[in-house]
Structure 1
Amino acid sequence: MNPIDTLNLDFRALSTFLAVLDEGSVSRAAVRLGVTQSAVSHTLERLRQALGDPLFVKSGRGIVPTRYALQAGPHVRQILDDLQSLSAGPPFSPATAEFTFTIAANDYQRDLLLPGLVKTLRREAPGISLQVIPSGIPSAEMLRKDACDLIVSPHAPEATDIMQRGLMADRNVVFYDPDYRKPPENLADFLKSDHISLVFGTGERPSFEISLNARGLTRRNVVTVSNFSGLPEFLRGTDMLATAPQLMSKHLLRDFAWVPLPFELKPFTLLMLWHRRNQNDPAHKWLRNQVNAVAAAMNKLNP
């Protein structure tokens, strides 16, 4: 008998293999799949016997995939994608679809891109509702556990089952109220000024502040807020400075002037993130294309 005949190649067995491959841990794979560790171990043992390869071996306190497992990974992913395509049902029709699509985005990304998406939905897919939740510093688990369908963020979790696409580039600049002060002339002027700073709900500080600290530089933060929406009213009518993405000059910080940062800092890219299981889903693909179209239109306006 062919060894492969002894294996029940069902969706669960293949998903278990990929979960262990992605997580590098039986226990974490069990949490991701919502099953017990013994169930994962039992499925792996069936796979080992059928395929004639250990698949995963101990290394220190963890496990590592064998060469066979690494080579099989892409093929198994394709099989799962094909199985999902077979069960996708009839072709997707935006005009008649009715469901809620959840996007995780912080206030900067939300206000920049999602109003344009809503206009598209109201025009072309009136039965699709949009729910927006905060992303914080996004994790792969948000997508794995269906807390959201899509994430828009400059931060991408390192995980092989999370897909990504770049939407648009931006950079941090210095905003100020031109009725109350002149722009900072140099780095020394920037550092001695009073600042409005951000500490996100997760406790994470913006990348530019981390860069400053790495250079041994400090600034005087007199007000700290938890999101970008708190900047305008504190900035208005004062001589303080606020560092934020340049594209916020198109909406939230449109009433203020800005100048480049007085030190080198790399631009960043806003990313669209989704789980691999939704890669070929017709509705998900259509919505991703609409988000990308909004970003592309903005890129043309902001070359």
Structure 2
Amino acid sequence: MPASPPNPASIDFAALDMLRVVHELGSFTAAAEKLNVNQSAVSYTIGKLRACFQDPLFVREGGRQVATDRCEEILAKSLQMLGMLDEMLQPDAFAPGQATQNVTIACNYYERVLLIPGIVAAIRQVAPKMTVKVISSLSDGHLRLLRREADVLIGPFERAESGFHSRRLYGEEYACLMDPGHPLARTPLDADRYLSLNHVLIDYGAGWQSAFLRELEAAGHRLTPTIVVPSPAGLGTLIAGSDLVATIPRRLGARDAETLTLAPSPFRGRFDVSLVWAAHTNASAMHRWLRDLIWSACRG
């Protein structure tokens, strides 16, 4: 007589969290190390989940444990349950002056240069025992929130789907950064003049496209760059004394306004810089405090 599948009620939150970690790391061995358990414990738990859900959940491809479609569905629902458990476990009050937690902020170069210094200063002023970790968000910052790798995400990353919340910090637009001696430094740029420039294009990678490029292409144009770089870092040195022009967020370009010229771009690519967080932290007193502090520091 075939054995009946395990009772679904036997699956606990620890098993679902282990499923999340294996999915995140793509390895039973790495998951065991992160959770500080034996690999056999991970294999046993995943085996129990496989029997219960009647699906392999993971298949080995290219040296990694790759999730099946059924596993992705199960994980999406289990993350919601784990989030609700997190909310229930959160204390009703938070005392920043005595807090020793680590907070992790996901963002990119723009935010690290313009916003993180003020945020860190504000945290240290009222919560001196807390520590701050800043990680890159690239284009998958929302996944870092779901995987609990970050507490908040800052940047042009509004999330409209369920499971996320966002709060607009301020609006931003693109401008042209060039040497003061550039022949067009004091000439209003229309589309034709703009497209004729020798452009430095910032290619952030990971499928990310800047808002001004989307606007430019929607108008039927195509930008042919002279130089492509992976980050705005060092742009001032690259542009100074040359005929190169970079289109970058206005607030970022303003940092070089003393030595370079910042001119309006015909393709402004207006966008919002937002604070984004996952639903499982929405009710947490500590996270509410952190979000309010970030909002105040970035708006001040």
Work out whether the TM-score is over 0.5.
yes
Q: After the TM superposition, which residues 1-303 of structure 1 pair with which residues of structure 2 at under 5 Å, given as runs?
A: 12=13, 31=23, 36=46, 39=49, 42=52, 81=84, 84-89=86-91, 91-157=93-159, 159-181=161-183, 182-185=185-188, 186-251=190-255, 255-263=259-267, 265-297=268-300
Q: Distance in 1 between matches of 2:108 and 2:256?
A: 13
Asked whether the equivalents of residues 198 and 205 of structure 1 are also in contact (C-alpha less than 8 Å), the reply is no
Asked whether the equivalents of residues 139 and 207 of structure 2 are also in contact (C-alpha less than 8 Å), the reply is no
Asked whether the equivalents of residues 254 and 262 of structure 2 are also in contact (C-alpha less than 8 Å), the reply is no
Q: How many residues align?
A: 254
CA 1:290 to 1:211, structure 2 compared with 1: closer, same or farther past 3 Å? same
Return the offset for 1:174: 1.4
Q: Distance in 1 between matches of 2:187 and 2:50?
A: 59
Asked whether the equivalents of residues 183 and 258 of structure 1 are also in contact (C-alpha less than 8 Å), the reply is no
Return the offset for 1:31: 4.3
CA 1:236 to 1:96, structure 2 compared with 1: closer, same or farther past 3 Å? same
Return the offset for 1:230: 3.3
CA 1:288 to 1:43, structure 2 compared with 1: closer, same or farther past 3 Å? farther
Asked whether the equivalents of residues 106 and 136 of structure 2 are also in contact (C-alpha less than 8 Å), the reply is yes
Asked whether the equivalents of residues 97 and 128 of structure 2 are also in contact (C-alpha less than 8 Å), the reply is yes
Q: Deviations over 1:165-186 (max 9, x none)?
A: 1111101111222234424532
CA 1:253 to 1:154, structure 2 compared with 1: closer, same or farther past 3 Å? farther
Query: Identical aligned pairs, as a percentage?
Result: 22
Q: Distance in 2 between matches of 1:295 and 1:223?
A: 32
Return the offset for 1:11: 8.1
Matched residue type, 1:232: G
Q: Distance in 2 between matches of 1:249 and 1:85?
A: 41
CA 1:40 to 1:208, structure 2 compared with 1: closer, same or farther past 3 Å? farther
Matched residue type, 2:240: R
Return the offset for 1:254: 5.6
Q: Distance in 2 between matches of 1:252 and 1:11?
A: 55
Q: Distance in 1 between matches of 2:217 and 2:296?
A: 37
TM-score normalized by structure 1? 0.69
**Aligned-residue CA RMSD (Å):** 3.7
CA 1:37 to 1:194, structure 2 compared with 1: closer, same or farther past 3 Å? farther
Q: Secondary structure at the match of 2:153?
A: strand
Q: Secondary structure at the match of 1:201?
A: coil
Q: Deviations over 1:228-261 (max 9, x none)?
A: 2132111112222111111114436664322222
Return the offset for 1:158: 5.5
Q: Which runs of 5+ in 1 are unaligned?
A: 1-6, 20-26, 45-60, 66-72, 298-303
Q: Deviations over 1:49-105 (max 9, x none)?
A: xxxxxxxxxxxx99xx9xxxxxxx9xxx79965x54542247311111112211111
Q: Secondary structure at the match of 1:274?
A: strand
Matched residue type, 1:187: A
Q: Which runs of 5+ in 2 are unaligned?
A: 1-7, 25-30, 32-44, 55-68
